[in-house]
Amino acid sequence: MTDGFLPAPDDDTEADRHRWFAAAALLIGVLMLAFSLPALPKATRIAFEIGTPGTYVVDNVPECAASRCYSRSGTFISDDGTLTRTDVHVRNAMSRMLKQGDRIRALDLGDPHEVFTTEGHGDYPFELPIFFGPLGLVAIGLALRHFWRRRKRRQSP
C-alpha cells in the first residue's frame, strides 16, 4: 500500500537518481585518475630514491609559513660531483628550521629547475597518487558495479 507520500521502490525517479549518481561517480573517478596518474612515476622515483643523489645548498632566505619552509633558489651538487645545477628549488616543503646556507640531501630527477628531498613534508607529487588514485579507483569500481548489476537485472527473465 502506498499513501502517495513516498515514491514506490520501483519508481523510475529512483532509478534515474541512482543512474545519475553512478555516472557522476564514474566521471569523478576518471578525473581523479587523470590528475593523479601522471604524478605516479615521479612519486615512485622519489619514494625509492631512483635518481641522482646529491646535496642541495639553500642560496636564498627561505620563505616560511606555518610549520613549513620553501627554498626557491639553491644549488644542487651530485654526490659524485659530475652534476651541478644552479637556480633550482626544492619542490617539497621543508621543516621550519631551514635557513640560508643549509645543506639538504636531495634527489635530482632530470628537471633542470627542481630537485626533491625525502626529508621534507609529503607535498606534490606524493599527495596526488596516494590520495586521489585509490579514491578514483573506488569511485570507478562502485559506478561499474552499479551499471553491471543493472545490466544483469535487465537480462534476467
pLDDT averaged per 10 residues, the chain (length 157): 57 71 92 89 84 91 77 91 91 74 89 80 69 90 87 66
Q: Do both 92 and 54 map to the same domain?
A: yes
In a domain? residue 8: no
Q: Do both 112 and 55 map to the same domain?
A: yes
Number of domains in the chain: 2
Separation of alpha carbons 134 and 142, rounded Å = 12
In a domain? residue 54: yes
Return the pLDDT at 138: 93
Q: Do both 58 and 108 map to the same domain?
A: yes
In a domain? residue 75: yes
Q: Do both 74 and 59 map to the same domain?
A: yes
In a domain? residue 4: no
Q: Do both 128 and 88 map to the same domain?
A: no
Q: Check if the beta carbon of residue 107 is closer than 8 Å to that of residue 92.
A: no
Return the pLDDT at 3: 58
Give me the domain span that covers residue 81.
50-117
Return the pLDDT at 148: 86
